[in-house]
Structure 1
């Protein structure tokens, strides 16, 4: 892995590499029910980076993307794994993406909605996870439908059912799990957004850190490490991002 140009003291001033991990996105990270430990593609990448820098790894766990962003900007963690978004870009400097994830809509079986373009209508409500990439995107893009915010992304489907909203929005695989759990639900075809997942550091850090982490990401993709991590964790529906 190419970690050239990464100043370990600048990236990890405490002497250990502190990685912000959002367990609210099941594509990238989650807690293993057998032992409560964090597992996933994000953790694999964090471990790989720490190994190549010769540092110990400390995982700083958050249950939402918004809290993970705040943790990095407050200095609780040295870097994190985030969906690239212009709003977050005010606080976070991103690498090139390593994974692409679909953002999809979920409705009830008897819903009249059959197409993504039908969602943004007056009188309709869409449930998203608070401060998630979908929240940020739809807050900009929806012109007519109202947004209801669940406390976390995993709570979206439950909030959708409890509130009687018209649509739930989120990671396609997470919505599929909700549809299986509750029944009587279906996903609309296609996706309303394609999320580019990247590494990120606080924007007030040395710009050379972002450049160095970008080289690491590009090497992780080119070497097959990201593809193998997706396969190892049984992730379906996510794709390795193209070369940056």
Structure 2
């Protein structure tokens, strides 16, 4: 017996949109199952049934923007907390990068439902993605994401001498966190006090905690790449639009 799936979940699995978008589209009558409009929230479908969306949905989705910020220290990724300012406050006409090649025009309505796709700690800097597009969010923070994130990490060794090669190998694979083994990472020296970390997961304060386990203190942490999208020359505190030719 084939199991019925919630329509919004199936639409997300098919990569059509996020679950939240799916619910909106279902309510608006923009979703068809085997050619018939389904407008009742919570409706279920079989995996073999054909799900399509009306052109209005695709048109609305194409208007949704994705933004790259070079987050400075002292800003939080998401909701304002403990008096700290959220990174979305940086997105305004005057802080847009002058060299942004996108023809997209900024309008304050783009700030509606613009949410961070992943987090960057308050004391970390670099590339932060905010998006209105559920597909982008799913790609970057969905349960099955395989998108790499690269960080440059300035460190100080708390013991005598240099970090042993065996501990560098542990950073690459072999450490446990929160009762589970971490996925393999790529960790290599950039220079005598800076490491490059490439991860495929993002547990809270993961890099700082990994470093702590081998006697390294993190002095500075900067995210420079998410998937194929690089921070590049984007100045600190400024933002630009994701270009149509860029994919994570």
TM-score (norm 1): 0.32
The answer to which structure, 1 or 2, has the higher relative contact order (CA under 8 A, 6+ apart) is: 1
Task: Report the structure, 1 or 2, having the larger helix content.
Answer: 1
Q: Based on CA coordinates, which of the two structures has the bigger radius of gyration?
A: 2
TM-score (norm 2): 0.32
